[in-house]
Structure 1
Amino acid sequence: MNSEAIDRRAVEVLARQLELCRATPGRPATVLADDATDHALVNTSVHALEQIGAIPRTISIDDLHRSGADPDLTTPEIVVNLLNGYSGTAESLVFSNARMLSVVAPTTGDLRGVVPHVGLSRRVKRGLDLLAAGQELHVSDSRGTDLRIGLKGARRWKHDGLASAPGMVAEWPRGMIGTAPAAGTANGTMVMSPGDIWLPMGWYARSPVTFTIEGGRLAGIEGPRSETDAIRAHLASVGSPSAYRLDAVEIGLLWIDRPRPPALFEPSFADSFGIADRYGHVVIATGDYPTVGIACCLRSATVAVDEVAAVRSGRPQGELAPDVYEQAAHRHPL
């Protein structure tokens, strides 16, 4: 693995994130990987831990399975988990008081444009507090979306990529807040317009499709048959009535630097890493997690909590917007 080239900027970025997670010099750390893990990402993790003065050890899960041996683990202060999608396996191998940073980027190239900053965690917390204090969330846009959902008693969640206390597990790079509508309260319309993104396929919508939602369930789908036939077929294939139930509204807060704003149908942008968490994107999904009915990523929606705008035309507002310090970090990245 040590023969792999090292992306020096990726090392700097991950080292900064580990510092935000309060990794400290002189303490043991563990990197968890398997045969499918990108070798450059393994090397980057080891070098990042060494850069901050931690004492890293790499454990290959596949090597353990082949040998049948149990891992000889020194209690780590922090674990860098590269077993994308296997957090349960990772958690079974480490002590409960270790911080775990699960890197969900599949390659070091996917870390380009990521600028670690504590401001993201602050914005995520403020957004979650805003949802907790609100009575109603209103999603709208100039193209016909007009959806209202109740927040009283609704479930909420967040991702900020920060594992800063013993026992915490965080996915990184992530940045979003989400809520499940209070039962039966979602009513209105949602319009997928050209340039919006169907998830998780990563396809651009080519024609407008209007969804009618009544009492928290899909009640109608209107649009060109080329779009609506595929949507209806997918919903039917899920094989569960929950596919038609509005499950989540999520607001992306992860600021990833780009040399220029993406075009409406930018090649490779729709299926790029972390598209649902991107700054200002609003995802509306049906289903019963982890089974998804449809997931629609609106790129220019307005979201208001009790009629106070939190996102306006795809741009976070107020306490969801970066402060001057976070803005400065992006103007002068690592």
Structure 2
Amino acid sequence: MQTATGDRRVIDTMARQLDLCRTAPGQAAAVLVDQATDPAMADAAVAALEQLGLSPTTVVVDDQPPGGGGAAGTPPEVIVSLLAERLEDFESMIAPQAKVLSVVAPGPGELQGVVPHPGLSRRVRRGLELLDAGGELQVSSTQGTNLSIALQGARRWHHDGLAARPGTVAQWPRGVIGTAPAMGSANGTVVMAPGDIWLPLAWYARSTVTLTFEGGRMVGIEGPRSETDAVRAHLASLDNPSAYRFDAVEIGMLWIDQRRSPALFEPGLAESFGVADRYGHVVIATGDDATRGIACCLRNATVAVDEVAAVRSGRPQGELAPDVYEQAAHRYPLDGDGLARPSVREVS
């Protein structure tokens, strides 16, 4: 059971994020929950909205989408959804002008270390602009990764957890920029080194494995059988050629303010919530919307757009890096290797 202090921290964190979404006292608000929602999350969402001067209504939805346009009365201008990815099933109850904060963290524990700050949105926006202006993206690493994809005609997306304008839906806590390249344009190698993370398998690579891409498809998996057999078995179990198609590159931008172990195989990190969004992680994925293939979470990769470094050895560069104001908001500053560690100003 959480302590009162723990509850207050979660409420304050939600309230700060909702404040960034430009909620205003007196706005009509609703919290969407279902039978799977953690009651502590529902209580925190209601308390956070009340802290900002709103009087939210809790709406319990069942397994079937409502047939009408929502509850009677004023349509909510601010909605906190605790339905995760099922939000699209309930679009009929959401007014077109509503701001929707879709909380994808399943419980209060996953919000520990989240520090809402406008700097994240700024960095995500700058990263998206860099992708928009580029012609080629290169991913490399000291372990041997050497991959290039074309950005002309590529699809791009971002998540920054910010629903600041009416009619927007934002997943929170999220922080990522991503691109799906033009069909057939991915070529090169991706090298998984010990300590990198296989997604969605949620386990660490223990040996070096090389994936080779030609013309946008995976054509080779090389490495010790103890590692490659599991990857091959996973892909084969999907029984779909799309599982081998190059899908996307994503760059994590979310700074989680927690102590980080310097250990290569940090306990709990590989299977932790939102590991793909972590600051400086680079995810290279195969598959499509219907068939998720394999995803390689590289923790020390370098990413360049037209030879301009966006990430260097797992650390975002230039305008993708936090400024002094965002750094000051965190208790654990990022060390030179991108890990968050205690600062001299830490208090117990």
Secondary structure of 2:263's aligned partner: coil
1:273 alignment counterpart: 273
The letter for the 2-side match of 1:97 is Q
How far, CA to CA, are the matches of 1:6 and 1:263 in structure 2? 27
The letter for the 1-side match of 2:144 is G
1:13 alignment counterpart: 13
Residues 1:42 and 2:39 are matched in the alignment:
no
How far, CA to CA, are the matches of 1:271 and 1:323 in structure 2? 29
How far, CA to CA, are the matches of 2:298 and 2:75 in structure 1? 44
Q: How big is the shift at 1:89?
A: 2.5
Q: How big is the shift at 1:181?
A: 1.5
2:151 alignment counterpart: 151
Secondary structure of 2:284's aligned partner: strand
Unaligned runs of 5+ in 1: none
Residues 1:223 and 2:223 are matched in the alignment:
yes
For residues 83-232 of structure 1, the aligned pairs below 5 Å read 83-232=83-232
How far, CA to CA, are the matches of 1:98 and 1:118 in structure 2? 20
1:234 alignment counterpart: 234
Secondary structure of 2:85's aligned partner: coil
Q: 1:48 to 1:262 in 2, by over 3 A?
A: farther
For residues 293-332 of structure 1, the aligned pairs below 5 Å read 293-331=293-331
How far, CA to CA, are the matches of 2:63 and 2:222 in structure 1? 52
How far, CA to CA, are the matches of 2:182 and 2:70 in structure 1? 45
Identity of aligned residues (%): 67
User: 172-181 or 200-209, which moves further after superposition?
Assistant: 200-209
Q: How big is the shift at 1:75?
A: 1.0
How far, CA to CA, are the matches of 1:193 and 1:14 in structure 2? 36
Q: How big is the shift at 1:56?
A: 0.6
For residues 58-73 of structure 1, the aligned pairs below 5 Å read 58-62=58-62, 71-72=71-72
How far, CA to CA, are the matches of 2:215 and 2:8 in structure 1? 52
User: 1:224-268 CA deviation, whole Å, 9 max, x = no partner?
Assistant: 112212211221222221111110000000000112345211111
Partners of 1:81 and 1:90 within 8 A in 2 = no
The letter for the 1-side match of 2:77 is E
Q: How big is the shift at 1:31?
A: 0.2
Secondary structure of 1:19's aligned partner: helix
User: 1:143-201 CA deviation, whole Å, 9 max, x = no partner?
Assistant: 01010111111110000000011110000000000001122211111011111111122
How far, CA to CA, are the matches of 2:290 and 2:21 in structure 1? 28
Please give the TM-score of this superposition, normalised by the length of structure 1.
Answer: 0.94
Secondary structure of 2:56's aligned partner: strand
Unaligned runs of 5+ in 2: 332-344
User: 1:301-320 CA deviation, whole Å, 9 max, x = no partner?
Assistant: 00011111100010000010
Please give the TM-score of this superposition, normalised by the length of structure 2.
Answer: 0.90
Q: 1:39 to 1:183 in 2, by over 3 A?
A: same
Partners of 2:32 and 2:82 within 8 A in 1 = yes
Partners of 2:30 and 2:79 within 8 A in 1 = yes
Aligned residues: 329
How far, CA to CA, are the matches of 2:121 and 2:77 in structure 1? 21
How far, CA to CA, are the matches of 1:5 and 1:88 in structure 2? 34
Q: 1:99 to 1:262 in 2, by over 3 A?
A: farther
Q: What CA RMSD, in Å, does the superposition of the two structures yield over aligned residues?
A: 2.1
Q: 1:15 to 1:69 in 2, by over 3 A?
A: closer
